[in-house]
Amino acid sequence: MGRRRKGGSATVIMAIIFVFVLLFLIGTIGVFCENISHMTSADYKYGTPYPRLNGEVSLTYLGNMYESNAQRGYSYYQLDLPVKNTGNGQLEPEYDLYVEVEGTEYDDVQEYYQVREDDFAYSYMEVIPSGLSGIVHQVYLVRDGVEQVTVTLYKDFEDYYDEVNGETLTVAVPAADSAE
């Protein structure tokens, strides 16, 4: 009678493992190539902006009323935020700037959402091209009596949403009588 060789089953197992590894590699390369093919020329042309603080952040007292708006217990302040676009795409502050301004209590600071055309101080454009700097002005309502606020600038939406990797600094709130 014939005897079976035990080495044949090891060869079959190695062949099966080789096939699975080969299929895995083909699938991985396919996914990689698919991601590249979905990138458009716009992704290369416009790139991704990354704002970084580029100077001294300041608050300027605007008054208890601003553009015919007033809210009891709050004063209006303009935040001057000097940023440099370190990314490879143009920075549009209205869409690409993720800033959080907070006091010690949840209602110490509220953003004023009206945007005016002259609230942007980068020469003649409302964008900051890659590699250049500009000063973005944002108006906030700060509760009366608050002495300082924390300003955090995030590089993108994911960091803003997760509240990680932000550039954080404390800014003194000027007194109302210091502006007069």
What does the alpha-carbon distance between residue 135 and residue 84 come to, in Å, rounded to a whole number?
Answer: 9
pLDDT value of position 124: 41
pLDDT value of position 19: 87
Q: Where are the domains of the chain?
A: 7-38, 51-179
> Which tokens in the block code for residue 156?
């993108």
In Å, what is the CA distance from 144 to each residue of 85, 94, 141, 157? 34, 27, 9, 30
Which are the contacts of 174, defined by CB distance < 8 A and separation ≥ 6?
59, 60, 61, 77
pLDDT value of position 33: 56
pLDDT value of position 114: 64
pLDDT value of position 38: 45
Environment class of 149 (CB within 10 Å of its CB; exposed 0-12, middle 13-18, buried 19+)? buried
What does the alpha-carbon distance between residue 167 and residue 151 come to, in Å, rounded to a whole number?
Answer: 8
Angle subtended at Cα 105 by Cα 104 and Cα 107, rounded to the nearest 5 degrees:
130
Q: What's the whole-number average pLDDT of the chain?
A: 79
| Fold annotation for 51-179 | Immunoglobulin-like (2.60.40)
pLDDT value of position 92: 81
DSSP 93: H
pLDDT value of position 70: 83
pLDDT value of position 122: 45
The predicted model scores a pTM of 0.65
pLDDT value of position 40: 44
Q: Which regions in the chain score pLDDT beneath 50?
A: 35-45, 121-125, 180
23 sits in which H/E element: helix 7-38
